[in-house]
């Protein structure tokens, strides 16, 4: 009975979303207060309904109800309890339901937090979010029903993809979705402003914390995915420029640009049109990512099913939502927000506006570059140019080229004044630090065992960003001693960039990899490390059997760790999975993965030494934290209250 | 020309120059890093031309995997039903690599053999990559190769 209840809940949620879209939109258009007031309760009811549907599907997994097709395909009786919870979003249908749930959560949060905004703004924003929800619920109901029955019910289900049976993957999708879907808030506000025909700093100020939080979650989600790929795939890489990774990275880049341009629009009133466009782009890229991943046009672990009707549906939905928003933009943006007499407008080449403009230009170009590389194989195929793939060096080299000026300019950003500044003043403040960073870079280049110039550039770049950030903080503390939450968030984010640079560039430069055949007792030395293979034993897990290797790691002759990489064979499908053994330290990882047995007790073993590997994720963590901290700034709340109060008086 | 116009013109020229540079860079980077996918019969029909580096796709022929004892070097044969090509790999083969299943190998041709730089087997054990399935569609009809859906349970 329960699955049918789930369907009814979804259908009711669909109707509620329809109400939430149509009535408030017309109400706002016609000035009918009663119609506009439908939006908030509708948003809350929708959360209840979708949440209940999600609970129903979860309970079907917990009770192992194999009469539900989706449950039968993605779990079995051997599946450990914790993965029964996460299997709910382990494949296509459930992950879409999660998408809808996250959207309902964001919508309800906006409904609760927006009660101080003018009613038409509130109504329009919630209506736009309702429209998005409508699309996804319809998609769920008509092409990907998670509650479809499988009768007669099988006695045993298939299995959750063993790749996904991992603690990191339990929370990766929810975090990623909170980020992805969170960009719906600035999107809805942009569309509402365009519909309204007026844009003031009010909506920008109001949406800034939402953008920051969404971007922070997206950062966490991507970092977690990268961390998982690192230890689970057994290749020792942390970013592969895989189309699906790119699909999540595109909205991240657009979101990072949006964060900065929103700050300018809110504080200076400029870049308004660009900010609106970026808000639309960030969410459009989230939808595009969903389309790429879910439609099966890409083959990857994330592309669950290649059902053409699904791809077509998302594509049509994408066209309606994004096309509609862009059309609205073209029609309305010209009339918006350009107060030519605003004294805050206008800026010279040496101003913070210019630097933030460059920031946006570089991030947007990087985004376009990644988008092109990701879609190029699809385009080429459609044009009959053959089946091709774009190699990681395309992304790597161009990304580095675009990010290098960003890194160079970053420390200037916070130090330069709005509108105009003396270049000499800022240069005087930063020049010693630039020289120090360069000198240490040269030292690192000279000391590096390999890839000297890469190490030097990495060290110099990371230190330059770190010094610049510290310099700014120190100047503030010495000045009036006040650092607002917004500023602290910025500092954390920029410090995150510095830490990330250390990780990404030094791992790239200093990584050493060996693939060798080892018999018990033999060892392989990699730089200062020595790894001794001591043999393999058997281990039985809940739903797999594993060959577990014992490898002892020495550094300069001193023992550091005993690693246990595994080769697992899952009982259900016979699928083989590698679990890497990692000795993780802040100074670097020793990473061991087992290949196949070569006979005579010998095994193929892959050993990586990866200095500063942890810094990649530490940097991402700091960036995400920066987003959260700056969203907590009291100004975002108090000012809104003041503006609205003055409106009511 | 008044200063405002001159500034605007300067911006436009700057933007044009930047986008021209960007386009050129992207074009070069794409050209250098694109790898086309060919099946063995296409390779022998000369369709790969003299591409330096490409991807070879097909099924790993049953019983063809051989190892040089005690080392990582492995030889296997990739087939599309019409032609076969020997592949040499000196790396650890991926978890999902199996005889009788689909594989895509990136590397270089050396005479009638193919030297692998990267061997990819699918993440999912039941499906063949869509692009490969499409390429091999015809071969399946004629020969005893698992059908286009790629099911090899």
| Model confidence pLDDT, tens digit, residues A350-375 | 889 999 999 999 999 999 999 999 98
- Which helix (H) or strand (E) segment holds residue A569: the answer is strand A566-570
Helix (H, G, I), strand (E, B) or coil at A121: helix
Share of chain B above pLDDT 70, in %: 78
Say yes or no: B59 and B29 in one domain.
no
Using an 8 Å Cβ cutoff, are A568 and A162 in contact? yes
B153/B149 Cα distance (integer angstroms) = 11
- Answer yes or no: is A626 within a domain: no
Q: Which residues of A touch B134 (CB under 8 A)?
A: 387
Q: Please, what is the average pLDDT of chain A?
A: 89
Say yes or no: A573 and A522 in one domain.
yes
- The minimal CB distance from B33 to the residues A372, A394, A517 is found for A394
- Answer yes or no: is A179 within a domain: yes
Say yes or no: B57 and B105 in one domain.
yes
Helix (H, G, I), strand (E, B) or coil at A297: coil
Round the CA-based radius of gyration of chain B to a whole number and report it. 22
Q: Give me the domain span that covers residue B19.
A: 1-34
Q: What is the mean pLDDT of residues B127-150?
A: 54
Q: How confident is the model at residue A598 (pLDDT cuts 50, 70, 90)?
A: confident
Chosen domain end from A511, A527, A557: A511
Question: ipTM beyond 0.90?
Answer: no
Give the closest-approach CA distance of A357 to chain B in angstroms: 13
Q: How confident is the model at residue A307 (pLDDT cuts 50, 70, 90)?
A: low
Q: What is the pLDDT of residues A96-111, one digit of tens each?
A: 999 999 999 999 999 9
A68/A149 Cα distance (integer angstroms) = 4
Contacts for A402 with CB less than 8 Å, ≥ 6 apart:
A362, A365, A366, A369
Q: Is A197 on the interface with B (CB under 8 A)?
A: no
Q: In the predicted model, is pLDDT for residue B124 greater than 70?
A: no
Q: In the predicted model, is pLDDT for residue A403 greater than 60?
A: yes
- Answer yes or no: is A641 within a domain: no
- Answer yes or no: is A633 within a domain: no
Q: Which pLDDT score is estimated for A646?
A: 36
Dihedral (Cα; A84, A85, A87, A90), 10-degree rounding: -170
Q: Is B127 on the interface with A (CB under 8 A)?
A: yes
Say yes or no: A224 and A367 in one domain.
yes
Q: Is A372 on the interface with B (CB under 8 A)?
A: yes
CB contact under 8 A, B131 and A381: yes
Q: Which pLDDT score is estimated for A306?
A: 52
- Answer yes or no: is B111 within a domain: yes
For residue B19, give the chain A residue with the closest CA: A365
Say yes or no: A375 and A430 in one domain.
no
Q: In the predicted model, is pLDDT for residue A559 greater than 50?
A: yes
Q: How confident is the model at residue A342 (pLDDT cuts 50, 70, 90)?
A: low
Q: Which pLDDT score is estimated for A289?
A: 86
Chosen domain end from A383, A400, A417: A400
Say yes or no: B117 and B132 in one domain.
yes
For residue B66, give the chain A residue with the closest CA: A598
- Which helix (H) or strand (E) segment holds residue A305: the answer is none
Q: How confident is the model at residue B150 (pLDDT cuts 50, 70, 90)?
A: very low
- Answer yes or no: is A431 within a domain: yes
A453/A519 Cα distance (integer angstroms) = 37
Say yes or no: B47 and B115 in one domain.
yes
Say yes or no: A51 and A120 in one domain.
yes
Say yes or no: B9 and B44 in one domain.
no
Give the closest-approach CA distance of A190 to chain B in angstroms: 26
Say yes or no: A481 and A517 in one domain.
no
Say yes or no: A457 and A519 in one domain.
no
Say yes or no: A507 and A529 in one domain.
no
Q: In the predicted model, is pLDDT for residue B106 greater than 80?
A: yes
| CA-CA-CA-CA torsion sign (A359, A254, A188, A46) | negative
- Answer yes or no: is A602 within a domain: yes
Lowest mean pLDDT among A49-53, A173-177, A437-441, B101-105: B101-105
Q: What is the mean pLDDT of residues A611-626?
A: 97
Phi-psi region of A612 (alpha: psi -120 to 50; beta: other; left: phi over 0): left
Q: Give me the domain span that covers residue A216.
A: 167-338+345-400
- Answer yes or no: is B147 within a domain: no
What is the residue whose two structure tokens read 């479809």?
A: A148
Using an 8 Å Cβ cutoff, are A20 and A130 in contact? yes
Structure tokens at B150: 């790629």
- The minimal CB distance from A386 to the residues B33, B36, B67 is found for B36
Say yes or no: B13 and B44 in one domain.
no
Say yes or no: B108 and B58 in one domain.
yes
Total of domains in chain A: 4
Q: What is the mean pLDDT of residues A595-609?
A: 87
Structure tokens at A118: 């003018």
A514/A368 Cα distance (integer angstroms) = 36
Q: In the predicted model, is pLDDT for residue A198 greater than 80?
A: no
Say yes or no: B80 and B135 in one domain.
yes
A408/A457 Cα distance (integer angstroms) = 11
Q: What is the mean pLDDT of residues A239-265?
A: 93
CB contact under 8 A, B70 and A606: no
Say yes or no: B21 and B75 in one domain.
no
- Answer yes or no: is B21 within a domain: yes
Q: Is B11 on the interface with A (CB under 8 A)?
A: no
Q: In the predicted model, is pLDDT for residue B30 greater than 90?
A: no
Q: Which residues of A touch B20 (CB under 8 A)?
A: none
- Answer yes or no: is B20 within a domain: yes
| CA-CA-CA-CA torsion sign (A350, A355, A357, A362) | positive
Contacts for A313 with CB less than 8 Å, ≥ 6 apart:
A139, A142, A143
Using an 8 Å Cβ cutoff, are A280 and A190 in contact? yes
Q: Which residues of B touch A296 (CB under 8 A)?
A: 130
- Answer yes or no: is A625 within a domain: no
Say yes or no: B63 and B80 in one domain.
yes
- Answer yes or no: is B152 within a domain: no
Q: In the predicted model, is pLDDT for residue B143 greater than 60?
A: no
Indicate which of A370, A388, A567 best probes the interface with B, i.e. most B CBs within 10 Å of its own CB. Answer: A388
- The minimal CB distance from A604 to the residues B32, B72, B134 is found for B72
Using an 8 Å Cβ cutoff, are B58 and B82 in contact? no
Chosen domain end from A476, A511, A546: A511
Say yes or no: A142 and A181 in one domain.
no
Say yes or no: B69 and B98 in one domain.
yes
Say yes or no: B50 and B28 in one domain.
no
Q: In the predicted model, is pLDDT for residue A296 greater than 70?
A: no
- Answer yes or no: is A634 within a domain: no
Q: Is A348 on the interface with B (CB under 8 A)?
A: no
CATH code of residue B110: 2.40.50.140
Q: What angle do CA A431, A432, A437 make, to 5 degrees?
A: 95
Q: Which pLDDT score is estimated for A298?
A: 63
Q: In the predicted model, is pLDDT for residue B4 greater than 90?
A: no
- Answer yes or no: is B150 within a domain: no
A630/A319 Cα distance (integer angstroms) = 34
Q: Which pLDDT score is estimated for A639?
A: 46
- The minimal CB distance from A573 to the residues B71, B125, B129 is found for B125
- Answer yes or no: is B110 within a domain: yes
Say yes or no: A447 and A470 in one domain.
yes
Q: In the predicted model, is pLDDT for residue B123 greater than 60?
A: no
Using an 8 Å Cβ cutoff, are A429 and A415 in contact? yes
A39/A23 Cα distance (integer angstroms) = 8
Q: Is B96 on the interface with A (CB under 8 A)?
A: yes
Say yes or no: A434 and A320 in one domain.
no
For residue A304, give the chain B residue with the closest CA: B124
Residue A37: CA atoms inside 13 Å, Cβ hemisphere, count?
3
Say yes or no: A384 and A418 in one domain.
no
Share of chain A above pLDDT 70, in %: 94
Total of domains in chain B: 2
């Amino acid at each position: 009975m329960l699955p049918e209840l789930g369907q009814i809940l979804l259908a009711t949620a669909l109707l509620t979303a329809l109400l939430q879209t149509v009535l408030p939109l017309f109400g706002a258009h016609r000035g009918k207060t009663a119609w506009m007031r439908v939006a908030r309760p509708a948003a809350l009811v929708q959360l209840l309904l979708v949440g209940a549907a999600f609970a129903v599907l979860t309970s079907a997994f917990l009770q192992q109800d194999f009469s539900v097709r989706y449950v039968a395909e993605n779990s079995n009786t051997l599946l450990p309890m914790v993965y029964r919870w996460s299997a709910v979003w382990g494949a296509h249908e459930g992950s879409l339901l999660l998408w809808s749930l996250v959207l309902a959560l964001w919508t309800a949060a906006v409904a609760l937090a927006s009660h101080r905004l003018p009613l038409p703004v509130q109504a329009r924003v919630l209506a736009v979010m309702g429209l998005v929800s409508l699309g996804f619920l319809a998609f769920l109901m008509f092409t990907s029903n998670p509650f479809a029955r499988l009768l007669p019910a099988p006695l045993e289900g298939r299995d959750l993809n063993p790749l996904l049976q991992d603690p990191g993957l339990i929370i990766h999708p929810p975090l990623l979705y909170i980020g992805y879907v969170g960009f719906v808030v600035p999107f809805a506000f942009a569309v509402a402003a365009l519909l309204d025909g007026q844009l003031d700093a009010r909506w920008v100020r109001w949406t800034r914390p939402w953008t920051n939080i969404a971007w922070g979650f997206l950062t966490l989600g991507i970092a977690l995915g990268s961390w998982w790929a690192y230890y689970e795939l057994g290749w020792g890489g942390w970013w592969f420029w895989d189309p699906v990774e790119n699909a999540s990275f595109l909205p991240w880049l657009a979101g990072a640009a949006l964060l900065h341009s929103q700050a300018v629009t809110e504080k200076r009133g400029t870049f308004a049109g660009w900010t609106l466009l970026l808000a639309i782009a960030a969410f459009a890229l989230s939808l595009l990512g969903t389309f790429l991943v879910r439609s099966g046009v890409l083959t990857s672990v994330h592309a669950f099913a290649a059902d053409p009707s699904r791809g077509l549906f998302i594509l049509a939905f994408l066209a309606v939502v994004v096309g509609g928003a862009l059309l609205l933009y073209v029609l309305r943006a010209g009339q918006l927000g350009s107060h030519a007499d605003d004294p805050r407008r206008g800026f010279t080449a040496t101003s913070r506006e210019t630097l933030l403009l460059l920031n946006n230009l570089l991030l947007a170009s990087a985004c376009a570059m990644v988008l092109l590389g990701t879609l190029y194989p699809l385009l080429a195929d459609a044009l009959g140019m053959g089946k091709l793939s774009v190699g990681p060096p395309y992304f790597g080299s161009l990304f580095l080229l675009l990010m290098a000026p960003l890194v160079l300019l970053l420390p200037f950003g916070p130090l330069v004044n709005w509108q105009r500044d003396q270049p000499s003043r800022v240069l005087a403040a930063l020049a010693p630090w630039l020289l120090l960073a360069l000198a240490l870079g040269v030292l690192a280049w000279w000391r590096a065992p390999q890839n000297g110039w890469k190490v030097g550039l990495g060290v110099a770049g990371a230190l330059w960003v770190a010094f610049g950030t510290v310099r700014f903080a120190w100047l503030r503390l010495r000045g009036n001693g006040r650092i607002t939450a917004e500023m602290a968030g910025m500092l954390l984010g920029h410090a995150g960039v510095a830490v990330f640079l250390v990780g990404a560039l030094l791992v790239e430069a200093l990584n050493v990899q060996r693939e060798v055949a080892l018999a018990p007792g033999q060892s392989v030395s990699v730089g200062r490390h020595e790894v001794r293979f001591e043999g393999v034993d058997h281990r039985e897990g809940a739903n797999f059997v594993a060959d577990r290797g014992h490898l002892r790691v020495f550094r300069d002759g001193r023992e550091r760790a005993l690693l246990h990489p595994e080769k697992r064979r899952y009982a259900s499908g016979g699928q083989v999975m590698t679990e890497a053994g990692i000795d993780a330290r802040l100074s670097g990882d020793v990473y061991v993965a087992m290949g196949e047995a070569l006979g005579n007790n010998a095994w193929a073993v892959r050993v990586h030494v990866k200095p500063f590997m942890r810094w990649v994720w530490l940097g991402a963590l700091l960036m995400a934290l920066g987003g959260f901290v700056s969203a907590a700034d009291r100004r975002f709340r108090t000012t809104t209250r003041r503006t609205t109060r003055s409106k009511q008086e | 020309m008044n200063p405002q116009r001159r500034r605007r013109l300067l911006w436009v020229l700057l933007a044009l120059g930047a986008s021209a540079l960007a386009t050129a860079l992207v074009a070069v980077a794409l050209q250098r890093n694109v790898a086309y996918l060919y099946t063995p019969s296409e390779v022998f029909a000369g369709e790969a031309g003299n591409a330096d580096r490409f991807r070879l796709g097909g099924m790993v022929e049953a019983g063809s995997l051989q190892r040089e004892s005690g080392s990582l070097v492995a030889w296997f044969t990739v087939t599309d039903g019409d032609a076969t090509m020997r592949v040499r790999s000196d790396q650890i083969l991926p978890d999902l690599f199996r005889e009788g299943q689909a594989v895509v190998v990136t590397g270089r041709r050396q005479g009638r053999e193919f030297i692998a730089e990267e061997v990819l087997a699918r993440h999912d054990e039941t499906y063949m990559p869509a692009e490969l399935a499409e390429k091999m569609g015809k071969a399946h009809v004629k020969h005893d190769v698992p059908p286009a859906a790629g099911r090899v349970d």
